[in-house]
A and B are shown apart, each in its own frame.
Chain A
Amino acid sequence: MQEKAWRPWVLLSPALSAVFMLLVIPVCFVVVYSFWLRAPSGADIPAFQFGNYAKFFEDFFYSKILIRTIRISFETVFLCVVLGYIPAYFFYRSKSRYKKAFLLLIMLPFWVSFIIRTMSWINIMGDTGLINHFLMQIGLIQSPISMLYNEFTVLMGLIMYLLPFMILNIYVSLEGIDKSLLEAARSMGCTEWQAFREVTLPLSLPGVSAGCLLVFVLTAGTYLPPMILGGPGNDMIGNLIFKRIIGTLDWPFGSAISVILLFLLFVIVWVYNRYLGINQIFKSFQGN
């Protein structure tokens, strides 16, 4: 027994050192750098001051991007719930032989590179894209409508990326519902709709909220859809970080924005735990 005490640590050491060296320490560096100064020459000067943060919150240009990021994340969450719940319910209730194939199919976009899924919307919504071509063919319009590079196309790209996450989360929680509960509701005279509203829907809410959290976090941290499908006014906080770090090489400010993003996500997860605990969701529906 004595010799066993060190064994797990030997097994863990490669993974632990990788995560410590390549994640924990680098993230600490980001926090430290966010207090540094940037000299006009471009050199970074070690310091401890809050100027980078002050700049972010004082300049309306930056705080607007933060607010937009939060708004777009909520919009994406909402659209994913609206678009995702019914297909998840379909998989749950379907008795088709092809149910497994349907599910596998909805997983497939996971395996297609994010950049391809994002740029694929240009083929659909571009000036010579599928929609414009179709509308011109049937004679509804004479010249192409300009549809790309606005918040709507950014949302399309985001949904394409995140909808499978939402559908799977909802589906998993639906599958976990004891089907005898539904039968009980039906045998006591509930209609199909009543049984859904009183039994299935409340019991599936943990999956919905888990999906919402995941979609929110992934949306708030992305920059690719605004970069490829958005215009100059659609930048999110990820775009700002990318531009500061890769574009202008402003490391201290880029670090401060990264810390703000991390903090935003931390707050969201905290609020979720605090107010949207699974019990709370049940309670809110018991009254109806």
Chain B
Amino acid sequence: MRSFSPGWTLIRIYTFLVYVFMFVPIVVVIVLAFNPKQFGIFPMEGVSLRWFIRLAQNESIIEAFKNSLVLGSLTAVISTGIGILAALAFIRFEFPGKNTLNTLLLSPIMIPEVVLGVALLLFLRFLQQPKSFVLLLIGHVVLTLPYVLLIVQARLVGINKEYEEAAKSLGANAFQTFREVTFPLLLPAILAGALFSFTISFDDITATLFWATAQNQTVPVKIFSMLRNSVSPEINALGAVMIVLTVATPLLAGYLSRRFSKVTA
């Protein structure tokens, strides 16, 4: 009955329009990446791959891509590693000041990235160190750590403690218990956390713009510096590559994990 009421129809139309609003700009970036002409945006004059070829031949863009990939991967590994340990401490142990420390570790979410950017840069200046790749790495670890912590903690709460106790009563030490029992059960959350921190690092611009240098550019920073001149079709092509990479990765991971879990079940 409800599905045919005029009110519900209006709600559907409204929702559809909001979707149009959200997705048209993204779709247009991808479409325009194939626009062969150099100046102006519309109308499109056919379909061409010339801007993708230009991208592939541009040394500084390839360099930025390499930087972003290495940075994202290292951030994911370090952040997830640190996050798992902290999550284990919070969920599996009782100790004084637990809630306060948990809030402290989640606080980077609540502090604006601008302030984080300034703070780390100022600290580096005080230590009289130049901006470097390490600055980007530690900055991104701080940015992503709270998300990993949230994801891993949520999963860890759901894992029955008795499995671990059973392993211990059978003579396994703490590390063996973690390796044989906790880690496999935690794996989906670990992968999700790693993927999430990779994507945040790969996409981040607000704080990264404070930390990057001409020698240490990431792809978003490269896009930003290209935007200063004008919106060229090359930027749309680069944007399209980024969109496909960062949207396809989580979708693929989700698909694979579903398949994987079906196989093992």
Q: A residues within 8 Å of B by Cβ? A: 4-5, 7-9, 11-12, 14-16, 18-19, 22-27, 29-30, 33, 83-84, 86-87, 89-90, 93, 95, 105-106, 108-109, 111-117, 119-124, 126, 128-130, 132-133, 160, 163-164, 192-193, 217-218, 220-224, 228, 238, 241-242, 245-246, 251, 254-255, 258, 261-262, 265, 269
Give the residues in chain B near A246, CB-CB below 8 Å. 209-210
Does B122 lie at the interface of the complex (its beta carbon under 8 Å from any beta carbon of A)?
A: yes
Cα-based distance from A117 to B93 in the complex (angstroms): 42
Most buried by B among A9, A29, A93: A29
Give the residues in chain A near B29, CB-CB below 8 Å. 116, 120, 123
Describe B's contact surface by its main secondary structure: helix
- The answer to whether A258 touches B227, judged by C-beta atoms less than 8 angstroms apart, is no
Most buried by A among B12, B105, B123: B123
Min C-beta distance of A17 to chain B, whole Å: 9
- The answer to whether A123 touches B41, judged by C-beta atoms less than 8 angstroms apart, is yes
3 closest Cβ pairs, A-B complex: A221-B112, A26-B119, A120-B25
Q: B residues within 8 Å of A by Cβ? A: 2-3, 5, 7-8, 11-12, 14-15, 18-19, 21-26, 28-29, 32, 40-43, 81-83, 85-86, 88-90, 92-93, 95, 101, 104-105, 107-108, 110-123, 125-126, 138-139, 141-142, 145, 149, 174, 199, 202-206, 209-210, 219-220, 223-224, 227, 231, 235-236, 239, 242-243, 246-247, 250
Min C-beta distance of A269 to chain B, whole Å: 8
Which of B25, B86, B92 is close to A123, meaning CB atoms less than 8 Å apart? B25
- The answer to whether A261 touches B11, judged by C-beta atoms less than 8 angstroms apart, is no
Which residue of chain A lies nearest to B138 when distances are taken between CB atoms in the complex? Answer: A22
Give the residues in chain A near B19, CB-CB below 8 Å. 87, 105-106
* Known A15-B86, A242-B209; contact A109-B145, beta-carbon cutoff 8 A: no
- The answer to whether B122 touches A113, judged by C-beta atoms less than 8 angstroms apart, is no
Min C-beta distance of B246 to chain A, whole Å: 5
Give the residues in chain B near A254, CB-CB below 8 Å. 118
Cα-based distance from A105 to B15 in the complex (angstroms): 12
Which of B3, B14, B104, B112 is close to A265, meaning CB atoms less than 8 Å apart? B112
Q: What are 7 A-B residue pairs whose CB atoms fall within 8 Å in the complex?
A: A8-B95, A22-B142, A114-B204, A116-B239, A123-B32, A221-B114, A223-B114
Cα-based distance from A227 to B193 in the complex (angstroms): 31
* Known A18-B145, A117-B26, A126-B231; contact A12-B85, beta-carbon cutoff 8 A: yes
Give the residues in chain B near A106, CB-CB below 8 Å. 19, 22
Give the residues in chain B near A242, CB-CB below 8 Å. 114, 209-210
- The answer to whether B108 touches A23, judged by C-beta atoms less than 8 angstroms apart, is yes
